[in-house]
A and B are shown apart, each in its own frame.
Chain A
């Protein structure tokens, strides 16, 4: 594997709240090599959005936030970078798209003007050159009639088109890394399929790396090279996509897989829920945080806090102390 483009080591992000300290991200490590796509999967409250938001510097200055750990990106130390250095990187080498396109688009400015500004904030080019670049990018992002759409206001566009405009804006300066946080969650399934295809195509054409945050293992299956599964602020399993989805090693991963409604398999094989509910981020369970919901858990699981260890075919790592035979007894 080549030198990672993004390397996150032992990231910890906590927020002081009136109810107590919320450890949203509690010792998370992951890395992404140039041109690769990492899928970060987790349910609400798993810490996935806080983790990638922190890479972008979005949790800096948040009320009561404490951040620790290493964040290295393309020779920059993001954890210690000044605000000015971060501002230069964001929207240039490092870009992000969100679930809600209106969070990145200004409602009162024309789409074209916003794109032009994004170009000129980072490139010493004139308005005319920036407009050409902006319009090309809209076309590349699959916006039909990009010339006409440059004049549109965000509210005049459909949800799918807005998502494409936001993607065009994020990619207009050809970033080396795109972080996409639930980029298709709010979209219809047919539009989701188009947007995922678009992201994969642009990733390949521009040679960029991508971190895709999602709750949907199906989305991961479609675009990610590697996967990190998060639960209660930790990465519980990580590895290349195919073995991870076919021979999951952590009971939470296969719990997620079994609870998914699927189009293959017999129709009377209902999705199997994971019992219970996600733990409180203020007072997580002792030992393995998944043990109260784990169908295979044994007594030591409540006492020993597991760390990621090689598992399965050796390319995977899982944070589970159970012997493989015990875990596999419950695996579908």
Chain B
């Protein structure tokens, strides 16, 4: 795949020849390196401003590693990631801090990703505190209430704990936290996979609303093509560390080119339709 630049403004994220190796260790007590496993194997793609790009593949394909590379929770082995035209692939911890305001992750498991000892108000307000946003505790509290309301939670519940909420509500908390700093990019790593079907559609609708209202760019990671079909403008299919197909969603679902994309589509159970 070549880096055909989009017509007008440069893409928000430009990924080129990205590689990530992880060391493989053997032995329980005396660990020794036993080579490396290549989780991401030279991928290139853009995330265009304001779009939702789907990144779809099965377990072990490297999609979550890609999410963590782009948000720089991991450092690439080779290749570059440019954010807003600037190479961020080798930035250190301190230099990354301003970038953290720009891009946020939403995690799959709303049960594991929220600190059970913190109230949801504290969880949503934590990024504001860390980045010293707002002139004081009172202003931050007001902003937290606004955020909770924005994601469809009752602001009066700010002093409750995660265990008092259902899975869908917890995912709303995770999303409120992610948008707290006013990011431009949301990387959503399987944001609905752990939720009941009737709740999945609520969260998809919430993400769509937030995208329209806040002008977000979204990288939507999923393990099945049905979930991202409505939400994504373009879809990339990953397998064994590589992108095997990337196309406009309308094209990819109507005329998949790669055999693996077709296999993924065929594996989704078909529903009967009333005639």
B218 to chain A, nearest CB (A): 15
B161 part of interface (Cβ distance < 8 Å)? no
For the complex, give the distance between the alpha carbons of A261 and B167 in Å: 19
B250 contacts A270, C-beta separation under 8 Å: no
Query: CA of A177 to CA of B15 in the docked complex: distance in angstroms?
Result: 52
Interface residues as binary, B198-215 with A (CB distance below 8 Å gives 1, 0 otherwise): 111110110010000000
Summarize B's interface: helix, strand, loop or mixed.
Answer: helix
Given that A218-B268, A218-B271, A246-B274 are known contacts, is A259 also in contact with B197, CB under 8 Å in the complex?
A: yes
Contacts of B266 in A (CB 8 A): 193
Docked-complex contact B198 and A43, CB < 8 angstroms: yes
Report which residue of B201, B225, B271 has the largest number of chain A beta carbons within 10 angstroms of its beta carbon: B271
Q: How far is the CA of A272 from the CA of B226 in the complex (A)?
A: 14
- Chain B residues with Cβ under 8 A from A278's Cβ? 166, 196
A262 near B226 with CB under 8 A, answer: yes
A217 adjacent to B271 (CB under 8 Å): yes
Chain A's nearest CB lies how many Å from the CB of B175?
Answer: 15
Check: A17 CB closer than 8 A to any chain B CB. Answer: no
State the interface size on chain A (CB cutoff 8 A).
40
Q: Are B271 and A264 in contact (CB under 8 A)?
A: yes
Closest-CB distance, B196 to chain A (whole angstroms): 4
Residues of chain A contacted by B199 (CB below 8 angstroms):
43, 273, 277
A325 at the binding interface (Cβ < 8 Å)? no
Smallest CB gap from B61: residue in A:
A188
Q: Is the CB of B227 within 8 A of A261?
A: yes
Q: Is the beta-carbon distance between B197 and A43 smaller than 8 angstroms?
A: yes
The answer to whether the Cβ of B59 comes within 8 Å of any Cβ in the partner chain is yes
* CB within 8 Å of B: which A194-241 residues: 196, 215-219, 221-222
Residue of B59, B201, B263, B264 with highest tally of chain A CB at under 10 A: B201
Segment 269-284 of A: residues with Cβ below 8 Å from B: 269-274, 277-278
CB distance from A195 to the nearest CB of B (A): 11
> B225 contacts A263, CB within 8 Å?
yes
Inter-chain contacts of A219 with B (CB < 8 A): 269
Q: Is the CB of A188 within 8 A of B223?
A: yes
In whole angstroms, how far apart are the Cα atoms of A69 and B205 in the complex? Answer: 42
| Chain B min CB distance to A290 (Å) | 11
Within 8 Å of chain A (Cβ to Cβ): is B191?
A: no
Question: Contact at A193–B267, with CB atoms within 8 Å?
Answer: yes
Query: Bound complex: CA of A269 vs CA of B270, how far in Å?
Result: 17
Q: Which residue of A lies closest to B260 (CB)?
A: A190
Which of A193, A215, A273 is packed against the most chain B CB atoms within 10 Å? A273
**In the bound complex, do residue A189 and residue B224 qualify as a contact, i.e. CB atoms below 8 Å apart?**
yes
A247 on interface, CB distance cutoff 8 Å:
yes
Please, which residue of chain B has its CB at the minimum distance from the CB of A261?
A: B226
What CA separation (Å) do A193 and B265 show in the bound complex?
Answer: 11
CB distance from B224 to the nearest CB of A (A): 5
**What B residues does A267 contact at CB under 8 A?**
229-230, 249-250, 253
Asked whether A44 lies within 8 Å of B271 as measured between CB atoms, the reply is: no
Residue contact B198 to A255, C-beta cutoff 8 Å: yes
Selected from A218, A246, A257, A277, the residue in CB contact (under 8 A) with B269 is A218
Q: Are B204 and A274 in contact (CB under 8 A)?
A: no
How many angstroms from the CA of A66 to the CA of B180 in the assembled complex? 46
Chain B interface (Cβ < 8 Å from any Cβ of A): 58-59, 166-169, 196-202, 204-205, 208, 223-227, 229-230, 249-250, 253, 263-274
The 6 closest A-B pairs by CB, nearest first: A218-B269, A273-B201, A274-B198, A188-B58, A271-B201, A273-B202
Could you name 24 residue pairs across A and B whose Cβ atoms are closer than 8 Å? A43-B199, A159-B59, A189-B267, A196-B269, A216-B269, A217-B197, A217-B271, A218-B269, A218-B271, A219-B269, A221-B272, A222-B270, A242-B272, A246-B274, A255-B198, A259-B197, A259-B198, A264-B270, A270-B201, A270-B205, A273-B201, A274-B198, A277-B169, A278-B166
Given contacts A190-B267, A261-B227, 6 further A-B contacts (CB under 8 A): A188-B58, A218-B268, A259-B197, A262-B271, A271-B200, A273-B201
